Structure 1
Amino acid sequence: MQITSRSLLMSYTMLLTALVFTIFFWFQARDVQAEWINVPPVPSETGALSFSIGDKQMAYRSFGLMLQNIGNIGGRSAALDSYNFDMLSGWFLLEDGLDPESDYVPMLAAYYFGGTPDETQLDPVIEYLATVGRRKGKEKWRWLAHAVYLSRFKQKDLDKALELSYILAAKAERENLPHWAKQMPAFILSQQGDKQAAKELLLTMLKENAEKMHPNEVNFTVDYICTRILDKSEAAEMPLCDAAK
């Protein structure tokens, strides 16, 4: 097949046009990058299952992985305090409906999203962890304990922490959990300045449960009363503290 000068000219013209278009497009699009659109809207459970052909575990794990990596886009990582935590709460509850037994999403909520530097964003996380932690189940109570921790130490909301600690203590009594969980209200009462209530709570625990407690737990409780709740003069007048010396 013979190539004519006209066909060559057309080929070069098309190539030049494509090159000019490519250069023009590059100048227009060179500053365009993937944008952080924040947490996407939460689908219904039916909508979520439609993405996994009705497989709850596939949906749970896929959306969990999405939550874990949601702020990493276009080679950049979004700061936790830029997340919409109210929208995240909806995802937590959706995932909880798909698999209420798994600890994957509670762990993400507690140890990843709970790390936000903006403590005002933590309310949805604390509410979710408290909901999960109230349930029966192996080690579920630890999420309730973490909700107390976030309220007490990150938000410094002692009233909320005390309210949650009473729920934790009641659960600890019913399910024979570690004694520090039962003692949590006393720790927070002491921090609030209500030393008398804290002392009475721990003394009652010693009176009713000392025989069931490990000696180390008894010693810790006595030491907490004598050195953290009472001052030196008050401790000197208390027989329990004298006996512990």
Structure 2
Amino acid sequence: MRERPISTVPKSALGLLLLAFAAQLLWHFMQPPVTAKAENLMAPPDLASMRLASFGEPISLSKVAMLYVQAFDNQAGINLSFQQLDYAQVEAWLDRSLALDPRSQYPLFAASQLYGEINNDAKQRRMLDFIYRQFLLDPNHRWKAMAQAANLARHRLKDLTLAQKYAQAIRLNSTAAEVPSWAKQMEIFLLEDMNELERAKILLGGLLQSGQISDPHEFKFLEQRLAAMEASAEKKTKKP
């Protein structure tokens, strides 16, 4: 079919076309700018469903779950801070990932070093409590996460009582030979910082007498610390 020249189009039709085009442009510029919105982090599926969906590869699914929750703060067009995340759901995803791969240290590392580092007391404590509960399920394998939690409680939250609770949990529960002595001794030095010298002396004295310290340099160092504690305690009792 031969095209007709534009001059043959009635002027009224051209006017309506231009008016429609102008209205479309006006409508476009009057719209508010499109902004990305943070969607709520959804709850993870139940553990049984996730095991079924893993097709016999729970470790792989555990890693996928961690990738999902860590990528959530970088949605298309928006970069969320951890402060904006729902920590109840974050904890649920970390729990699922750990349940799928109990030998993995990464969910606990993420809880302490990623989600536990924010400047929010309540959310930090939630992550530390999560680590503590998970530690008690496998203390000889998860002692590193518990030691990190104790350090966070001490240096970030400035809560020596909570740090001492975590350090005590390591001493009482992490009994395997491969757990290093420094981890088992954390409570002693926290008690010293808390000015609980008598309790610190009792623990340190018992440790020296237990025969658990085989390194002579470490034994000598601890003996010196005990002597310093005794001197400090004696000086304290002599004060009027």
> Structure 1: how far apart are the matches of 2:152 and 2:200?
21
Contact 2:139–2:173 (Cα < 8 Å) also in 1 = no
Contact 1:172–1:178 (Cα < 8 Å) also in 2 = no
Gaps of at least 5 residues in structure 2 are 236-240
User: Does 114-123 or 175-184 show the bigger shift?
Assistant: 175-184
Greater helix fraction, Structure 1 or Structure 2: 1
1:25 corresponds, among 28, 49, 62, to: 28
Q: Which residue of 2 aligns with 1:112?
A: 114
AA in 2 matched with 1:223: Q
Q: Which residue of 1 aligns with 2:238?
A: none
Q: Which residue of 1 aligns with 2:4?
A: 4
Gaps of at least 5 residues in structure 1 are 235-245
Q: Which residue of 1 aligns with 2:146?
A: 144
TM-score using structure 2 length: 0.78
2:208 corresponds, among 196, 206, 209, to: 206
* Cα displacement (A) at 1:19: 7.5
Query: Secondary structure, in 3 states, of the residue corresponding to 1:115?
Result: coil
- Identity level (%): 21
Q: Which residue of 2 aligns with 1:100?
A: 102
TM-score using structure 1 length: 0.77
- How do 1:153-164 residues align onto structure 2 when only pairs under 5 Å count? 153-164=155-166
> Structure 2: how far apart are the matches of 1:203 and 1:8?
107
Q: Which residue of 2 aligns with 1:216?
A: 217
> Structure 2: how far apart are the matches of 1:8 and 1:113?
69
> Structure 2: how far apart are the matches of 1:134 and 1:97?
14
> Structure 1: how far apart are the matches of 2:123 and 2:27?
44
> Structure 2: how far apart are the matches of 1:120 and 1:88?
14
1:110-135 deviation line (CA, Å, top 9, x unaligned): 21111111122112211222233334
1:66-94 deviation line (CA, Å, top 9, x unaligned): 22222123444322223222221111112
